[in-house]
Chains A and B, each alone.
Chain A
Amino acid sequence: MFALTEKNRSIAQLLLNTGTCPRCVFRFCCVGLQASYRHPYKRIRLENMEEGAEDLNQNGALQQIPVTDDANVAMEISTPKVCNVCLGILQEFCEIDFVKKVSDLFLKQGLSLAKEDIVQLKETYKWIIHPLFSEELGVPADGKSLFEVSVVFAHPETDEDCHFLATVCPDCFKPAKNKQSVFTRMAIIKALEKIKEEDFRKHFPYPPSSPKNICAALEIQCTNGAIFVAGRYNKYSRNLPQTPWIIDGERKLESSVEELISEHLMTAFKADSFNFSSSGREDVDVRTLGSGRPFAIELVNPHRIHFTAMEMKELQQKINNSSDKIKVRDLQLVTREAIGHMKEGEEEKTKTYSALIWTDKAIQKEDIAVLDDMEELKIDQKTPLRVLHRRPLAVRSRVIHTMKSEYIDDHHFRLHLKTQAGTYIKEFVHGDFGRTKPNIGFLLKRTADILELDVESVDVDWPPTLND
């Protein structure tokens, strides 16, 4: 039984007085027990624990709690008027008459309703236990909810019962690296479909014998569905990796973009762990300027999930105040589906950069002006030497959309470029032993080297910009 709280009493009172049906009143009072709604609507009463029965309103519901459909209460109800919120949907249209009408309609069409399959054990278990949990906790049980309760049942006595299938259908049971046991659910199903009835009967008693013991509930786990926080980050340090740089257990560089951002999120959301991903990434010695690079963090099993926009802003401020090496903006909660937008950006969208370039032979303004005129320059890049140990050897064609040079002195200039996603900028400048063609050195008929690189923009319009 569910009682209306003090807070809800005034809401309930207001609604009842203005022509709202009891079921809608429940909805506005966040009543999560589904059973409450199933009481016949004409008989629902709301009791006021402190004051006892009060006067009726025109809806015919008494202000009494707890909810009961006890017909023995003194006050009788007059015919309820049409609810001003649900317009009668939760009133007349929940009655048996309407149900009969609709059923007749599709039965006439000759649609078959019978389910031919044996009902699954898991499903039946859920049918029984969901309402029980609902009753116990006062919240609706949603099969598709992100809050998951998992129970593992074990029965050692019958664990080996299925092993005979491996001798009869050996090809269904192939050991694989990650599998603990070769007897997986899928493998067993396959074998059962394959095996002939006679062979099955030879190995297994039919009907199955009675177990001596009941199975045991081995593991009970509750996890909250993962929460996704997205934003854009700027990186101002030339000495900060995106992810922790650890070789043979030894950390090579202090901290990382990922840790600086997720540290505070983990604390705020009280999550068990996180997964960081971003729309591309930059080298340790490259800064990310402009509006920053989109990122998303999956917080696994968060213990706190409700955050207002204001609280997110405060969290953003906290992260920004904690380090001068990075800055985040547009911090917000997003859905899992939204992550797809970010990854799409990684492959398809353009990026702009600013590079500080050195040349061996002296240059004049005219020498570098040739670069400004080049549009949609096609280059071929073999996998750079510096990543060749962990990438396949291949040639990638990329496009440098535009370039704009800025003369500094006779051996230095700054180059702004807008390129296709996936272009290795450093190699485009120094040529990587001629393995990126053409390259800046080649275009200027000199030898060039890159002294500094900054990402000016990552042209992905996700996540949505927030007005700070």
Chain B
Amino acid sequence: MAAAPGVTERYFTRWYKPDVKGNLCEDHCILQHSNRICVITLAEAHPLLQNGKTIKSINYQISANCSRLQNKVSGKSKRGAQFLTELAPLCRISCSDGEEYTIYSCIRGRLMEVNENILDNPTILQEKVRIFAYIEFFLIFIPALYHGLIF
């Protein structure tokens, strides 16, 4: 479920990181709220959002020791959040055609929350894109710095 376009335009600034990790067209879009919280999403050009792609599964377990689902924050200052660097993987998505894509953080910060709705219903990721030209968010966190982002 995406938020209405009005909401994103009203409260968020869009930043783009094209060709993440050197992979052509794997563009990410970062929605930065005026309170500095960011929502990581995929940009239109990303292969996952192209016609014909069906998502088979989404995995937040990015390594043996690290699952983004285990991220637990507490208190106002969000203690316990996992640290993220620009190239920290957030999740891995497998498609029915065998292709696998990794979504990256793109910015340095601390992970607050991941979108668990898409685990049950991966298609929401792709649903709204044709209508609103942006897509479902992946996760949110508070950034410390921005590197190589294009406005």
Name A residues whose Cβ lies closer than 8 Å to a Cβ of B: 358, 360, 382, 385-393, 430-434, 439, 441-442, 447-449, 451
User: Known contacts A431-B3, A433-B137; is A447 also within 8 Å of B128 by CB?
Assistant: yes
**Could you say which residues of chain A place their CB within 8 Å of the CB of B4?**
358, 360, 430, 441, 447-449
- B16-24, B69-77, B86-94: which lies at the A interface? B69-77
How distant is the Cα of A40 from the Cα of B130 in the complex, in angstroms? 98
Interchain CB contact (< 8 A) of A391 among B5, B76, B128 = B76
Interchain CB contact (< 8 A) of B76 among A390, A432, A434, A439 = A390
In the complex, the answer to whether B3 meets A430 with C-beta atoms within 8 Å is yes
Name B residues whose Cβ lies closer than 8 Å to a Cβ of A: 1-7, 11, 33, 35-37, 39, 73-76, 78, 112-113, 115, 117, 124, 128, 131-132, 136-137, 140, 142
In the complex, the answer to whether A431 meets B35 with C-beta atoms within 8 Å is no
In the complex, the answer to whether A386 meets B11 with C-beta atoms within 8 Å is yes
In the complex, the answer to whether A434 meets B1 with C-beta atoms within 8 Å is yes
Interchain CB contact (< 8 A) of B113 among A393, A431, A441, A448 = A393
In the complex, the answer to whether B37 meets A385 with C-beta atoms within 8 Å is yes
How distant is the Cα of A441 from the Cα of B4 in the complex, in angstroms? 9
Q: Can you name the residue of chain A whose Cβ is closest to the Cβ of B140?
A: A385
In the complex, the answer to whether A431 meets B37 with C-beta atoms within 8 Å is no
Listed from nearest, the 8 A-B pairs whose CB atoms lie closest are: A449-B4, A434-B1, A389-B35, A449-B6, A433-B3, A434-B117, A430-B4, A430-B7
How distant is the Cα of A387 from the Cα of B11 in the complex, in angstroms? 12
Nearest CB of A to B81, in Å: 9
In the complex, the answer to whether B115 meets A434 with C-beta atoms within 8 Å is yes
Q: Can you name the residue of chain B whose Cβ is closest to the Cβ of A357?
A: B4
Q: Can you name the residue of chain A whose Cβ is closest to the Cβ of B128?
A: A447
Nearest CB of A to B133, in Å: 13
In the complex, the answer to whether B6 meets A433 with C-beta atoms within 8 Å is no
In the complex, the answer to whether A393 meets B2 with C-beta atoms within 8 Å is no
In the complex, the answer to whether B2 meets A433 with C-beta atoms within 8 Å is yes
**Could you say which residues of chain A place their CB within 8 Å of the CB of B33?**
385-386
**Could you say which residues of chain B place their CB within 8 Å of the CB of A390?**
35, 76
Nearest CB of A to B126, in Å: 14
In the complex, the answer to whether B75 meets A392 with C-beta atoms within 8 Å is yes
In the complex, the answer to whether B7 meets A389 with C-beta atoms within 8 Å is no
In the complex, the answer to whether A358 meets B6 with C-beta atoms within 8 Å is yes
Interchain CB contact (< 8 A) of B112 among A360, A388, A439, A442 = A388
Interchain CB contact (< 8 A) of B78 among A360, A393, A439, A448 = A393
In the complex, the answer to whether B140 meets A392 with C-beta atoms within 8 Å is no
**Could you say which residues of chain A place their CB within 8 Å of the CB of B2?**
433-434, 447
Q: Can you name the residue of chain A whose Cβ is closest to the Cβ of B74?
A: A392
Nearest CB of B to A136, in Å: 53
How distant is the Cα of A442 from the Cα of B39 in the complex, in angstroms? 21
